[in-house]
Amino acid sequence: MMRLYRTRFSTNVERVALALAHKAIEVDSRHIDPADRSEVLRVSGQPLVPVLVDGDTIVVDSMRIVTYLDDLVPSPPLFPDDDARYAEMMFFIDWFNRVWKLAPNRIEAELAADSPDHMVIIGLGREMVAALEGFESLLGGRKFLMGKELSAADLAVFPFVKYALRRDPADTESFHEVLDEYQQLDDDHMRLRSWIKRMDKLPRA
């Protein structure tokens, strides 16, 4: 059986947990103490979760794990077969990981500074609000971000954008507090609100 190293409330782990449940793949979950990552470091050579161990294969990085699982169990698919749509989805996921994530990460770092630059924080917060408008538009006439079916795009985005609707009171991670504080839904985000609720009902491994 595959082994998954994880921590509670991890956004990146939730991506993988959703993919595993979608594929009906069972795993041996190893919950680690975020303050002691020695076991993850020993297994994978780096301290971050999730880490998937499948026999002699070790996969790190959440979306690489999702891709690995999709290759391993092709149905139901998380990536499109069509080359153009596949490229489109990969560009979107890359944008989310490399561009969208910059704003909340920089806000968290700025808030932790001795003298936070509040003008910078305001500007970054506006970027996050603008992104919500983009997600709302993507959901026009669609059940999920890239079409009628659940895809890797939804798994990439949901664990982060869900904070626009709710945060577990026990979740006190500073990054998640930023996701909560700087993403606020209003009456102009009804499709996004419905998508978050729909995604929230999906099973997780």
Strand order in the sheet with 27-31: 27-31, 2-6, 51-54, 57-60
Question: Rounded to an integer, what distance in angstroms lies between the CA atom of residue 54 and that of residue 43?
Answer: 12
Could you tell me the CATH number of the domain that includes residue 117? Answer: 1.20.1050.10
pLDDT at 38: 95
pLDDT at 20: 98
Which residues of the chain have a pLDDT value below 50? none
What's this model's pTM, rounded to 2 decimal places?
A: 0.96
Same domain, 92 and 181: yes
pLDDT at 75: 96
pLDDT at 13: 98
Same domain, 110 and 19: no
pLDDT at 55: 96
